[in-house]
Amino acid sequence: MSNGSRPSFTFVDLFAGIGGFHAALAGFGGRAVYAVELDPQASAVYERNWGISPLGDITADATDEIMNVPPHDVLVAGFPCQPFSKSGAQRGMDETRGTLYWNILKIIQAHHPKMVLLENVRNLAGPRHLHEWQVIIETLRAEGYRVSDTPAIFSPHLLPPHLGGRPQVRERVFITATYVGLDRDSGSLEAAPPISNRPVAGWDPMTWHLETDLPLDADSHVEGCDLTESEVMWVDAWNDFVVQMWEIREGRRLPGFPLWADEWVLPRDLEIPDGTPKWKVNYLTKNAEFYSAHKKIIDNWAMKWGVYTDAFPPSRRKFEWQAQDTPSLWHTVLHFRPSGIRAKAPTYVPALVAITQTSVVGPRKRRLSPREAARLQGLPEWFDFGDQPASSTYRQLGNGVSVGAVWYALRALCSRDEEVLKKTAPELLAAILTAPANPDLVLNELHP
């Protein structure tokens, strides 16, 4: 799908999911000539919205013997990171064989698209995957791409609303590469990352507000998003705790360390086994001191709410306050995590994940709706998930990319390598740099 009668450029969408990359590239005027996604449910949503079926297997379409991927100008991929071989002295492309990145490289070798944008979780740039990172950079440069060896990490909450930002912390690594040719010297292949992990245009992320900036659905009740009776009781109980602590602590904030009711003992009764990690010693000590300072109120509160009964599973006896001066737990954004209940100020939310940890909007007394979750990823209002279960929608959105972050990264890459692209891909360059800075101004016009 294109936003004009003639596409300004073509693209391929690998590991396409439901089409977050497609939204950005179609908004710039591009046309997909190939897309691939292994998950049939995600593929059905992709086809429903973008008019082409990506159902397929890249390991069958891009190999030594087969190349079913056609020529294109831009390659995008939210690819899984897999460990590469480190056997012997092997380096480069052979080292990636057997991984999905190897299939991406086969496509790049065959067609040398003018721009490549790869997206992955932040851990790809961490020490655990240092080897994988180095091999990716080396293999792209070996194919004639200018790419930074410094990770470009970015999150949509760092973008202001007028640039397509969203109130969601979703730090991802973007590998941004521009083709400069195989005959260039190595110096031309090195560059600074086009984006950095800091707020853009003077934006203060703490000024986000879910109520107006997302925006939230008008209705408090959304089918399938209500809290259970037990969840309401747990929040009511901890809210009572929060309100009492505000009163007796005379306006001082709650502690920043996690509170754990199962570890509330007096300091004289605290037993710490030998070999306990230092962080846990500190954690247990602070909980004992906190309990000692507020023992009478805590004991009465725990008895009132049955905190030490079966009504409170162990994970609901843990509580972490990150909501600064918010006066009530029901005014925060909540998360029911395996490690406990976490409360944050109603500014921005953590990255979308599975339904079991979907953010709870305190003032609405429910979880984020699928439509609100889609807005968090920057998808337009017309985007349609059909009649699939909400759990599938949450999972697909949790595996997706932020449209605003992709839009920002592509514009920044074009600005960085403008002189190269003027010669190699002038129509592509013009399509991206002359588009509005805010993808929201374009995406609603793409409705099929």
Q: Which of 305, 246, 79, 308 is nearest to 173 (CA)?
A: 79
Active site residue 414: no
Query: How far is Cα 210 from Cα 333, in angstroms, rounded to an integer?
Result: 9
Rg (CA), the chain: 25
DSSP lists the bridge partners of residue 335 as: 342
Decide if 393 contacts 225 (C-beta within 8 A): no
- Among 81, 118, 307, 431, the one annotated catalytic: 81
Decide if 345 contacts 123 (C-beta within 8 A): no
DSSP lists the bridge partners of residue 145 as: 179
Long-range contacts: 418-424, Cβ < 8 Å, 24+? 420/146, 420/178, 420/180, 421/114, 421/115, 421/178, 424/114, 424/179, 424/180
Residue type, 24: A
Neighbours of 223 (CB within 10 A): 8
The residues that are catalytic are 81
